[in-house]
Chains A and B, each alone.
Chain A
Amino acid sequence: ILSQGTVFLIIKVSWEIGEEELQKFYCRITKQLMGKEHGHDVIDSLQRLHLIMASTKYTRRLPVELHQRLLSLCVSSSVEQLTVLTSAVLRETLPPSGPGQIYTLHDHSPLPSHTAALMLSQAGSKEDLSALSSLLLRSLEGRPAGILSHLHTLPLLNTIITYCPESLTEDHVTLLSKRLVDWLRYASVQQGGVASSGGFFTGPRIRQPGPVVELDGCVCGDFFTVLCVSQAFSDDQWMNLYSFSLLRHWLITYHNVTDGNNSTDADDRSEVDGSVVSMVSATSSSSRLLPPKERLREKSFQYCQRLIEQSDRRCVYRAFPCVKSLFGRLNSDLSCSRVLLPIAQFYLNHGETAAVDSECVWRCVFGVLPAECFNDPYLAHETLSFIRANQLQLHSSVPLYTHYFPSLLKFLAWDSPGLVSDYVDVLPSLVTAGTAVELLHSLLDLPCLTAALTLQLRSACFPVSEPGGRGLSSLEAFRSPAHRGLFLFLLRGEAGSGDTMDRLSVLHDLLMEAADWSRVIQSAQSVPVLLHVYFNTVTTVSDERLLAQLVLVLLERSSLLLNIPKYTAEIHRVFSHHLLKLCKLHPSLVVDQSRELLEFAGTTTNIHSKEDLYTHVVWVLGEYLSVSFDSRCSVDLVTSCFEALEAVLFEITSSGSPSPRVVTSLLSALAKLASRSHDLIPRVSLFLSKLRSGAVSWCGSEEDVVAVVTRGEELWSLLKLPSVALSVLTPPSLATSPRWHRDANATLPPRLRTLTGLTDTR
């Protein structure tokens, strides 16, 4: 497709056209346009001119004469190709003189559609748009017959009001509302086009056009809608189409309903069940007395009901029952999945007023659909948009929403790059005290979920195992009954059946070959950022007990991750960061979980596999294992911690080459602990003095030696003065959170100074 060479050569040539050559070209075109006839060579030139104008970054100004010629062609030519080309060229240029000059085209009415497009693109202010809309509305009033161009008035107006709703005055809105009612409700039901052109062909030879028909071929049963079919369409039928296409936007922009549901109007009409004949307009109350806006709403409502009816002739309902039945019919049909979202929105907005049980809707939208259609990018996008738009309401009206997070994560697992920014917005709403731990596990296993979904699809596509071929071992594992439970848990749709599975490491082994699948790698790349969001949110909804549990999960999972390159390192980095934050927020966590933290710190193998996390755990122990943070911290606890860390330090320095960072953090931690229990000081001092004397054979480079020895020196000199060491290494919280004038001690000197200054009469 598209030889790069040809295309880019053409672009290059257009860029590089010289100024002289360009001016000559302008002259040639101007001469060509002077003639009465505009043949292929004119078209050619215009196309070339457009390419030149469009391919440069900087806007060119055309010579005035050429500009005028192009403009008059655009407005007055009856050859569509000329109007299209001239409009396109003019869109790429600037108006001929001075800023703010709009095209004065009030004498050209009706405004051709391509010209209007040009004016729209060059509108420089809201006043320009207002002027354009007035012009358009005036042409509507005139109702000229024939040419297609006036039919684009509505799309043009829709664009204008999207960006400048104020460009239509109240009168305009009323006028248009009336016209919209006419077009929506009273368009002709005869087939248009053929006989209405009049002209040469009259007489009995021409068949009279019949009425329009429904989609199933029956004669149209009620008023014309976009679901009516005909050989050709008349102008007002086209207007019906354009009216309906902009209706939703129009109603949202100008008809904000402040007086409750429309459905209450419908209550007084009788419901007819199962009737084939359309009952919509037959039972409509006389609405002529309503003001235009209300009348439009009423007619829109009827129109929509008729559309639903036309989609399936079996049912006639009003408002809520209508939507409810639609849901009932569609929720089992997955190909209609995207229609279910507007229905869900309807339930969310009106469910409480109508006192309807919406549970089945939510189960479908949050539970079933993501599980079945996780690979539909449009459904994913729309579901996430729905959640993002309605977060507050979902939180208050749909308590079970968070319950479905395992299902909702499937969209993300399948298409992480496209959806991760959406999930950054949505994830906080899924974090609750009830879901926190399970959610953390699920996030960490997101790549596994991706792999499982891939296998699920593949398994469905190739039901029979390929005999002896390139069968994936993970696919076989997926199908084998022995591991069924693992995958079932991973692919579950609802939360609450356990935080994670027991044989997680088995699962990781089974999915080992998935670690280099692109989709799995993309999924793994999105986990760290989501973990950040998770941890930032979870602190706001958890009590200390829950946070303690999370710390345990952190430690446990640090060695239980799918083995994707760089994934483990990234996760450890996130864990380290948040472990610090958590402990800083709740220092007593350290004492609470001291056993597990000590176990982690005491395991030497952790140093090699998780250095980052290890140093942070050691730091946290050193910093917060103190009676000033938690009164339960006994001397014994401090001592046992000290001994554990000391043992590790001896082990790593006597065999192997430990990283200096690990060593220095151990040293600092030991010093801190020793400062709290003074009989430990001699033990650590002994080691430190050995360092000073240079027994650091286990260090790698010169810089490392310097770093370790310097730290050793500082700590050793500090520990010679135990009370000083205590206040430096375990500062009271008062010192770390200064209170300035509120603190009696800190304010004394300034107070004295002030008083002295005031009373000193010298």
Chain B
Amino acid sequence: MVQCFLIHTVNPVSTLAPGESRVLYSRVFAPEEGALTGADSELGPEQRRLLQNEKVAVVARQVRSAVTLSREASGRVLVETVLGEELVALQEADSGVQRLGRGEPWPGERSALWLGVQSLAFTLVTEPHENLLLAEGTLKNITRHCLEHLRMLGMGSEVLLKSDRIDVLLHRLLPHGQLLFLNHRFTQSLEKELANYMAQ
């Protein structure tokens, strides 16, 4: 299953320290491990939530450096794309997978799959022996929908104000973090429902 999905920046942000990443959207599917194992039993729910946000921020930073290093090594020039060129942006995207070791930041090992589109990264964190092929496909699909439905290649701020669209997207394509073996017809069925929602 997928532990969490996040959208975050990979280019320098003026209000942040270098190397930091601003998380624009995050959805954690797993219940808080600390509460379950009793490891964080001294922490109140407020502190647990804070801890969870910090962990998500750690992942964002790790992926940011992975994306930066990968782009540096490949030496490719980033092509600016605008609204309407979502498929091009997706094709040009860098992708990779980063191992998150024990304690970085979750007690168990995780794999962070990422797609770097222009100045943003879309990251899926999965359990270590998850079906990566399936996860990769799901991530690409989710990213495509995000780019289209949230007009992310434009100058707008829908990603912040219309985050319920991402929630619904994840709810269909990745319900509660479950990766699905969707053939093209199942996908079409889901996308029809999504289109109805997004049209509101």
Least Cβ–Cβ distance between B31 and chain A, in angstroms: 4
Task: Give 1 or 0 for each of A422-438: 1 = CB within 8 Å of chain B CB.
Answer: 10000000000000000
Output the residue of B53, B95, B131, B171 with the most chain A CB within 10 A: B171
CB pair A152 B176 closer than 8 Å: yes
What is the total of A-B residue contacts with beta carbons within 8 Å?
A: 214
Closest to A389 in B: B129
Q: Residues of A within 8 Å of B, CB-based: how many?
A: 84
Q: Which residues of A contact B162 (CB under 8 A)?
A: 47
B195 at the interface (CB under 8 A from A): no
Q: State which residues 36-55 of A face B: CB under 8 Å.
A: 47-48, 50-51, 54
Bound complex: CA A156 to CA B98 (Å): 26
Total count of chain B residues near the partner, CB < 8 A: 80
Chain A residue at minimal CB-CB distance from B28: A121
Give the distance in Å from the alpha carbon of A85 to the alpha carbon of B167 in the complex: 9
Taking a contact as CB atoms under 8 Å apart, the answer to whether A159 and B99 are in contact is no
CB of B157 within 8 Å of the partner chain: yes
The A interface is mostly helix, strand or loop, or mixed, namely helix
Does B13 sit at the interface, judged by CB under 8 A?
A: yes
Q: B133 an interface residue at 8 Å Cβ cutoff?
A: yes
| Given A129-B31, A154-B178, also A1-B98 (CB < 8 A) | no
What residues of chain A lie closer than 8 Å to B66, measured between beta carbons? Answer: 417-418
A378-B133 in contact given A99-B44, A113-B171, A421-B99 (Cβ < 8 Å): yes
Is B58 an interface position by the 8 A CB rule?
A: no
B200 at the interface (CB under 8 A from A): yes
Do A1 and B156 touch across chains, with their CB atoms under 8 A apart?
A: no
CB-CB < 8 A to B22: which residues of A?
8, 11
Q: Is A242 an interface residue (CB 8 A)?
A: yes
Fill in one digit per residue for A159-203: 1 if any B CB lies within 8 Å of its CB, else 0: 110111000000000000000000000000000000000000000
**Cβ–Cβ < 8 Å partners of A491 in chain B:** none
- Given contacts A99-B45, A129-B36, whether A48 and B161 have CB atoms under 8 Å apart is yes
| B25, closest chain A residue (CB) | A54
Contact residues in A for B143 (Cβ distance below 8 Å): none
Query: Is the CB of A10 closer than 8 A to any CB of chain B?
Result: yes
What does the 1/0 interface line of A1-29 toward B look like (CB < 8 Å)? 11110111011100000000000000000
Q: How far is B74's CA from A385's CA once the two chains are assembled, in angstroms?
A: 24
Q: Which A residues lie at the B interface, using CB under 8 A? A: 1-4, 6-8, 10-12, 47-48, 50-51, 54, 57-59, 80-81, 84-85, 87-88, 92, 94-95, 99, 113-114, 116-117, 120-126, 129, 152, 154-156, 158-160, 162-164, 215, 226-233, 241-242, 244-246, 248-249, 338-339, 377-378, 381-382, 384-385, 389, 415, 417-418, 421-422, 517-519, 522
Beyond A99-B44, A114-B171, 18 additional pairs, beta carbon < 8 A = A1-B119, A8-B22, A47-B163, A50-B163, A84-B164, A88-B167, A123-B35, A156-B175, A158-B1, A159-B31, A215-B183, A229-B183, A229-B185, A378-B95, A378-B132, A385-B99, A417-B66, A418-B98
Q: List 12 A-B contacts (CB under 8 A).
A: A2-B119, A2-B152, A4-B13, A57-B53, A80-B168, A113-B171, A113-B176, A154-B178, A159-B31, A229-B184, A378-B136, A418-B98
Instruction: Give me the 3 closest cross-chain CB pairs, A-B, nearest first.
Output: A155-B178, A519-B73, A377-B96
